[in-house]
Amino acid sequence: MNQADVDVAKLIVGDQEIELPIIEGTEQERSLDIGKLRATTGLVTLDDGYVNTGSTRSAVTFLDGERGVLRYRGYGIEELASQCDFVEVAYLLIHGELPSSEELQNFRMKLRRHTMLHEDMRLFYDGFPRDAHPMAILSSVVGALSTFYQDSLDPHDSGQVYESIVRLVAKLPTIAAFAHKKSVGQPFVYPRNNLTYCENFLRMMFSVPSEEYECDPDFVEALNLLLIVHADHEQNCSTSTVRMVGSSNANLFASIAAGISALWGPLHGGANEACVAMLEQIRQDGGNVQKYVKMAKDKNSDYRLMGFGHRVYKNFDPRATIIKASCDKLLKKRGINDPIFEIAQQLEEVALNDEYFVERKLYPNVDFYSGIIYRAIGIPVQMFTVLFAIGRLPGWISHWREMHASATKRICRPRQVYTGDNQRAITPIDQR
């Protein structure tokens, strides 16, 4: 590579030398533009898991894994978490700027007008088994929005896209809460538009027709914070999925349904559910955290400590710091003595001082403490990843829109290095 002040790198392939432009982002991140590599050399790049691949230029979120920095549209996550509510952050991500109070008021009004589901959609819930995972319900019902709102499916019509955005952000909590009500056999609770986003969700989750329901402000505050810290995380697995599906010009509902499926996996959003299951298992097993740290280090086992490690953060996860503080505050204030919080703290202590974890730079991630807060609020474990999805929705939407607005947008279609059989003739079936 040339000196740091020049903007090309040279690649020598056989007797051919080509220049690859170096693209620098606003935070001085540098990348090689290989857009012409195949055309000029016939080569493609190979990068399992896209560990070194910048799939796009993006102005939505900046994160620096070494310094533990996370910013949405230039604003630090810590400031957003302490000064804004989730709807304001959603507006910021989707529109690119923080709203004026009038813009925010209008946005809230729009969301409030779209919180209900089409009555026919309720019937879907009758068809799902009672023990259906709510993430499966979430992605199915979100996908089905495209059957009910055929008037807002054109990805090239900005008015239609905005209508779909409002519908999604407004309806996702309702879709999620109905999934929970189905699982516990309680009547669905319709949204109340005089409540805030988080109050409304908690009420749809926990109120029953036979009793008055009062929203707990501590729970509202904790939920609001959790949604904010989950709201975006640049090109993660589910966001890349949303972009990829959207790149084929599939509609926004279909793209988001795909993102929800990607988020479900235990290596991604599903880790919060898996993490609480792990902590519960350690508790039931006598609380011996050393045993589980040993298992996670054993190269002959594929056991991992859930809620530990991150592809990008190699120092600390700033989201985890915020969530741990909130968890501590909530449990203390409410006098909740959750034994798995104790176990989580012990596990963190042991792992952070263990050479294996230190060497590999494995730290608690966003999912390590979030489940403990959800438990304190009374949210069942199967709903944890659903909460992640509600939080991540504005991020998915902003990336989908950014992709469509890009002058260089093309369908995402990676190459491969084929390693299968060479051409061969079919042996007739009676001779195989």
- By rule CB under 6 A, what string of x and - marks binding of each residue 149-188 to ligand CMC? ----------------------------------------
Binding flag, residue 269, ligand CMC (CB under 6 A): yes
Instruction: Give the binding range for ligand CMC (CB under 6 A) out of 53-61, 363-371, 372-380, 393-401.
Output: 363-371
DSSP conformation letters of 362-413: --B-HHHHHHHHHHHHT--GGGHHHHHHHHHHHHHHHHHHHHHH-TT-----
Of 382, 396, 357, 374, residue with least CA distance to 323: 374
Please check whether residue 282 is in contact with residue 292, taking contact to mean a CB–CB distance below 8 angstroms.
Answer: yes
Binding flag, residue 366, ligand CMC (CB under 6 A): yes
Binding flag, residue 371, ligand CMC (CB under 6 A): no
Positions annotated as catalytic residues are: 310, 367
Select 84 or 293, whichever has its Cβ closest to ligand CMC: 293
Binding flag, residue 314, ligand CMC (CB under 6 A): no
Select 308 or 369, whichever has its Cβ closest to ligand CMC: 308
Half-sphere exposure of 33 (CA within 13 A, CB side): 12
Range 322-361, binding ligand CMC (CB under 6 A): 360
Select 359 or 421, whichever has its Cβ closest to ligand CMC: 359
- One of 191, 307, 394, 395 touching ligand CMC (CB under 6 A): 307
Binding flag, residue 291, ligand CMC (CB under 6 A): no
Q: How far apart are CA 49 and CA 39, in angstroms?
A: 24
DSSP conformation letters of 56-70: ---SSEEEETTTTEE
How many residues of this chain interact with ligand CMC, rule: CB under 6 A?
21
Binding flag, residue 306, ligand CMC (CB under 6 A): yes
Binding flag, residue 391, ligand CMC (CB under 6 A): no
Q: How far apart are CA 42 and CA 202, in angstroms?
A: 56
Q: How far apart are CA 59 and CA 288, in angstroms?
A: 45
Please check whether residue 371 is in contact with residue 276, taking contact to mean a CB–CB distance below 8 angstroms.
Answer: yes
Minimum CB distance to ligand CMC, residue 230 (Å): 8
Binding flag, residue 310, ligand CMC (CB under 6 A): yes
Binding flag, residue 320, ligand CMC (CB under 6 A): no
Select 199 or 232, whichever has its Cβ closest to ligand CMC: 232
Q: How far apart are CA 87 and CA 93, in angstroms?
A: 10
| Pairs from 215-220 (Cβ < 8 Å, separation ≥ 24) | 218/330, 218/333, 218/334, 219/376, 219/377, 219/378, 220/196
- One of 236, 240, 255, 321 touching ligand CMC (CB under 6 A): 236
Binding flag, residue 387, ligand CMC (CB under 6 A): no
**Which H or E run includes 260?**
helix 252-264
- By rule CB under 6 A, what string of x and - marks binding of each residue 239-268 to ligand CMC? ----------------------------xx
- One of 183, 239, 261, 365 touching ligand CMC (CB under 6 A): 365
Q: How far apart are CA 371 and CA 381, in angstroms?
A: 8
Minimum CB distance to ligand CMC, residue 360 (Å): 4
Q: How far apart are CA 17 and CA 20, in angstroms?
A: 10
Binding flag, residue 296, ligand CMC (CB under 6 A): yes
Which residues of this chain interact with ligand CMC, rule CB under 6 A? 49, 233, 236, 267-269, 271, 296, 304-311, 360, 362, 365-367
